[in-house]
Amino acid sequence: MRILGIDPGYGITGFGLIDAQRSQYRLLNCGAITTPPNTEFSWRLEVIYNDMTELLRVAQPDAVAIEELFFGQNVTTGINVAQSRGVILLAIRQAGIPFFEYKPMQVKQAVVGYGNATKHQVQDMTKRLLHLSAMPKPDDAADAIAIALCHARSATSLLAQAQNQMQNSK
């Protein structure tokens, strides 16, 4: 299963594409969609949407895992990230790819086994699971890879839940 992990943002949107076969994981690609600061925000959203559409076309993932928003103290930043996330979700929806959303604590739990793990612990475990010599940069790409791993490690139970729901609705 090819899983594309997305760490949404409006300055930097990280992505990580992994191949997950049972409990074996392989990093296929990672990077970031970036937009320059001090440019019109609607233009930045257009760049994110267009680049995400192209990434989905080229990567051809079976599923997309995206981080849910966490509003900290800076609400203005959170609103802008929410808008960025909106155009990303639109691109995914238009591509017809199933997507799954995870809270930061769920990512930490799935990757490290502890919901209050530190960023360093998540990166270290991600590096181990993928047999990498170093964590990819920028950090947003590394976070996106962890989100993809979260889905890979959770997909079996989510798939079973979805199949049960489909059978129950018949």
All domains of the chain, ordered by start, with CATH?
A: 2-169 (3.30.420.10)
Predicted structure pTM score: 0.88
For the chain, 170 residues long, the average pLDDT of each consecutive 10-residue run is 96 97 93 95 97 98 92 71 95 97 94 91 93 92 96 71 50
pLDDT, residue 155, reads: 75
- Compute the C-alpha angle 62/155/144, nearest 5°: 70
Rounded (10°) CA dihedral 98, 104, 105, 108: 90
pLDDT, residue 22, reads: 83
**Enzyme catalytic residues:** 7, 67, 140
pLDDT, residue 154, reads: 87
Cα separation of 169 and 22, whole Å? 28
Cα separation of 125 and 52, whole Å? 27
Q: Which long-range contacts (CB under 8 A, 24 or more apart) does 89-92 make?
A: 90/49, 91/49, 91/52, 91/53, 91/56, 92/52, 92/56, 92/64, 92/66
Cα separation of 68 and 156, whole Å? 20
Spatial strand order of the sheet with 63-67 comes to: 24-34, 12-21, 2-7, 63-67, 99-102
